[in-house]
Amino acid sequence: MLYKSVLMRWAFAAVILFLGGACSGTEESSSPPVDFDIQESSAPDFSFPNTLHDGPISSDEFETWFGQTIQGMSSYARISQLFVMPFTLDCNQIKTMIPGGITFYGNHVTTYSEVRERALSIQKCARDQGVALPLFIATNHEGGRIYYFDDTVVTHFPSAKKQCDMGAAYVHQVSKAQALELGYLGLNFIYGPVADVLFVSSNVIGDRAFSSDPARTAECVEQAVEGYHLGGVITSLKHFPGHGGTASDTHLGLAQDNVTLADLQAKYLPPFWRGLDLARPSEMVMISHVIFKQIDSEWPASLSSVILGLLKERSAKPFDGVAISDDMSMKAISNYWGASTASLLALMAGMDLLIYQSQLDLQASIDLLVQAVENGWSATVKDANNQAHTLSFTQDQIRERLYDALKRILRAKYLGGLSNYDFLTELENRSPPDWQAHAAIANQGQ
C-alpha cells in the first residue's frame, strides 16, 4: 500500500486513504455500551478572549472542566457527542440518543416564535433528563435563497454575493444582525459563513459565495466571522477545501474537482485561512464531500485524511478546532457507503463532528462506534474507484481518535457558553432584537 496521509498526529489514520466507494450495510449494537478509559493527548491553547464566554479562558481552566465532565459520561454519551441529529419534537429521543447537537432544516422552521419555543424546549429536555451538556442548535441561514422562515419578522438579508458587493463592512453588519436574531431564537450555531470562492457557474454555490476573487472572499469571510461572534453564535467555515470549482451537487451524487494542490493552496484556501487566523477564529470548519482528484483520487474530502491533513496539520497554524462534516446523508456518501461505515471512516480520517439528517442512520453510526470502541474494527471496503481494500483499526486507535474529537467538540461548547445550562435563564428573559433596524440594513442591499 502507498500511504499518503499527512496526519502524522495519528499515524494509524494513513490506511484510511483506501476506504470508500461501495455500499455497506448498517451495523447494530448487540450489547449495551461499556465505559472506556481514554488517554489524554496534548492540550491546545485556550487563552484567547471569547465574546461567548465570560472572559479569557486558561488551558488549566478548560482541562479541569473537561476532565470533570467526561468522567461523569458513559462511553455511549461520549460517542454520541460526535453526532448532530435533525430536529425532533420527542424528548425521549434526546434522552436516549444524547446527541451533540440538533439541526433545524427548512421543514422544521416556520415562525420565529415556534423556533424559539422548540429550541428552548430541546435544551430544557436535555437538562431535565440529566444530559451532561447543552446541545449545539444549528441551522443554515445565509441570506438570499438560503432562508427558511415563512413569516416577516426574521430578517431576510441579501445573498452573500450581494453583501460582499456592498462592502466588507456591510457583511459585518449583516452577520452580527443575523447572529443576534438567531441567538434570540435559541440557536447557538450557524453553518456558515460560506468560504468557497466561486470559480465555475453553479446553482449549488452560486451567489452563496461572497466572490470569485480569493482576496475579496477572504476579506468578507473575516468580517462575517467577526460579526457572527459579536452577535453570539458559533461559526463553521464551509465547504473545505472549497466547493466553488465544481458545478456538481453532492446532495445528488459524487462531485469531482481537478484542481492541483498548488492552485488549491493559492486560490481556494485563503478565505479559510483568514477565518482561522483571526484573534478569535471560527470554531469549526465544515468539510465537503467533493473528490479532489489531483490530491486524493480515492475518496471524498470528508473521508480523506489527506484533505483533513491540509487543515489539521497546516504548517502555518495547525487547526485545533472542530472538523464538522457536511450532511452525511447526502447521496455523495449514502449512495456509496453505508451510514455507519462512513461515520467510522470519517472519524478515523480526522473528522470530529458528524451531521446526519436521518435518525436511523445516526443511531446505526453510534451503535457501530460503540462496538468499535469495545472490539476494534475491520472490514473490506471499496474506494471511489471501486477498488477493494481490507482495513483494520484497533481498539486503542479508535479510542485515541475519539478522545481527540471529543476534546475538540467540548472545547467548542466551552468557548460557546455551553458548558452548563445557566444560559437558559438569560435566554428566556432576553429582549427581542431590533427587528426594524435589521430590516433597514437588509433594505440597503436590495
- Residue 251 catalytic? yes
Q: Hey, is 146 helix, strand or coil? A: strand
Q: Hey, is 138 helix, strand or coil? A: strand
Answer whether 81's CB lies under 8 Å from 133's CB. Answer: yes
Distance CA 351, CA 289 (A): 12
Looking up cell 446532495 gives: 251
Distance CA 94, CA 77 (A): 11
* The three cell numbers locating residue 443: 433594505
Phi, psi of 292 (to 5 degrees): -100, 95
Identity of the residue numbered 214: P
Looking up cell 422548540 gives: 118
Q: Regarding beta strands 284-287 and 322-325, do their DSSP bridges make them parallel or antiparallel, or are they unpaired?
A: parallel
- Residue 396 catalytic? no
DSSP letters for 101-116: EEEE-GGG---HHHHH
Catalytic pick among 53, 165, 251, 434: 251
Q: What is the dihedral of CA 269, 270, 274, 275, to 10 degrees?
A: -30
Q: What is the dihedral of CA 207, 209, 211, 217, to 10 degrees?
A: 160
Q: Give 42's DSSP letter.
A: P
Q: Regarding beta strands 322-325 and 290-292, do their DSSP bridges make them parallel or antiparallel, or are they unpaired?
A: unpaired
* The three cell numbers locating residue 372: 468499535
DSSP letters for 151-187: SSSS--PPPHHHHHHH-HHHHHHHHHHHHHHHHHTT-
Catalytic pick among 257, 326, 367, 383: 326
Catalytic residue numbers?
251, 326
